[in-house]
Amino acid sequence: MEFIAHRGLSGAAPENTAAAFNEAASLGFRNVELDVLFTADDVPVVCHDDDLNRFGHQVLVSQQPWTTLQTLDMGSWYGPSFHGERLLTLDAALDQLSRQFDCINIELKPELNGHLTGPRSLRLTEQLARARAQGLALLMSSFDPRLVSWCQQHCPELPRAVLVEGPLTRAHEQLADLTGASAVHLDNDYLKAEDISRIKAQGLTARAYTVNEPARARALKQWGCDGIFTDILSPGSAP
């Protein structure tokens, strides 16, 4: 069963920062997940929330230029030892992670729906193509059906995953089929053994998010789950 570091090892360092990715690599993770949003001047950045209030900043990523956002301290909210951690551009993150991990799961946040057009679409497509040309294995995913479709249209060579919020439904399975997805990422809070069986019976990979209890990880492994996204569990902790 794969262990995927969720936003880096976000249970040990501030999420989606170089520190979180370094923590994951130091524990032997070979797979990592990150989130992508765009700045006001169309720079793709690694960040989960458009609203940075949770990190101590009264700003929206989508309304600020990169020159402003790159100065923000994204580590002190987590602990003083992480003071000075910065937002990463997607380009910078891919450059770092290419030396640390085998596969990177890039989640396109729902806020991008309707805004991933024109220069943004071209810029993201070019960055993904460049990373792939350098031998980096990428997996695209989103909760938003239209963004999964965007991946199918603009980077069809990259595998795609449908993200499920809440219980698995027939609509999720239909979306996976329509978009040629290779995987479905299931909500651990609602996940049942039969959900994994349903997904795998269709020839798809079944992964679960977010799993932070060893006993739960072991149960999912017994059910045949192919991978888990975790904030803190180290690879091999669910023998």
Q: How far is CA 204 from the centre of its chain?
A: 18
48, 57, 115, 185: the catalytic one is 48
Q: Exactly one of 6, 115, 154, 185 is catalytic; which is it?
A: 6
Buried b (16+ CB within 10 A) or exposed e, 2-36: bbbbbbbbbbbbbbbbbbbbbbbbebebebbbbbb
6 catalytic? Reply is yes
**Nearest of 192, 168, 237, 231 to residue 14 by alpha carbon:** 231
- Is residue 57 part of the annotated active site? The answer reads no
203 vs 102: CA distance, rounded Å: 23
33: Cα within 13 Å, side-chain hemisphere:
26
Residue carrying the six token digits 């059906």:
145
Active site residues: 6, 48
